[in-house]
Amino acid sequence: MPVAVVVDLSGSRKMEVRKKVRLYGEIGRLLGESHSRFRRECLVRPALTAGDSVEFLVNWWRPPTFFLHALKVSVPDVEFRVGVGAGEVHVLGESADECDGPAFWRAREALEDLKLIRGVGRESIADLKVDPSAGPSDVHLAGVISLTVGLLANMSERKLAYCYHHAWLGEKMSDIAREFGVTRGNVSKVLRGTDCRLLVRLAALGPVERPQSSARRTLRR
């Protein structure tokens, strides 16, 4: 059974028109790249909804985390809240905004809970909720998505950029140093710590094939 991810782009509704047009252009480009790059991990095409949110339906953690990482590098001042939901899904079309069911309901509930937390402003943050219909592997996947999004939320702007090149483009520290016109020592210092190292190692792992019977628990109507 897949996991639903709903991203609320905090503050996008208050952006001036020019910035909002640029943001939406980047979102469209990166959603397309996320889908083409991780096609087997996206059960339907990710979508930007009319309500300024982005939705994913995935069987692995990389598509939404890659998208958010790339977006933060491309548009550093964008902030987001992320709701992750595990449970049954009703696939009603070919894109995520045409799907529904308990996984999406729980993801939206997680977003609503985040809005009620005192002190939560425009900082990036994630939460998850699990429906009784979810299996153990779905709970695990929802947890990994929340963990990796949380890693991004705590990185500085420079670390996000360096780590993106390291984790998703496979560049070595010497390559990153040349790309940004800094020393290798600077790159090594910025990337010090477990957050980027963990992301790099996880990014190299593809999805585990699930039994056919498990895959059929997603309902297509």
For residue range 98-148, list pLDDT tens digits in order.
999 999 999 999 999 988 875 555 455 899 999 999 999 999 999 999 999
In a domain, 181, yes or no: no
Q: Name the E strands within 99-217.
A: 99-100, 125-130
In a domain, 113, yes or no: yes
Tens digits of per-residue pLDDT, 13-34?
A: 677 888 888 899 999 999 999 9
Between CA 220 and CA 89 the distance in angstroms is 8
Identify the domain containing residue 71 by its residue range: 3-155
pLDDT at position 18 is 85
How does strand 3-8 pair with strand 53-58? antiparallel
In a domain, 205, yes or no: no
pLDDT at 200 exceeding the cut of 70 = yes
Q: 103 phi and psi, to 5 degrees?
A: -60, -45
In a domain, 164, yes or no: no
Mean pLDDT of all residues belonging to the chain? 89
CATH code assigned at 147: 3.30.70
In a domain, 211, yes or no: no
Considering the entire predicted model, what is its pTM? Answer: 0.90
Nearest partner of 38 among 69, 77, 7, judged by Cα: 69
Structural domains of the chain, count: 1
Count of residues in the chain? 221
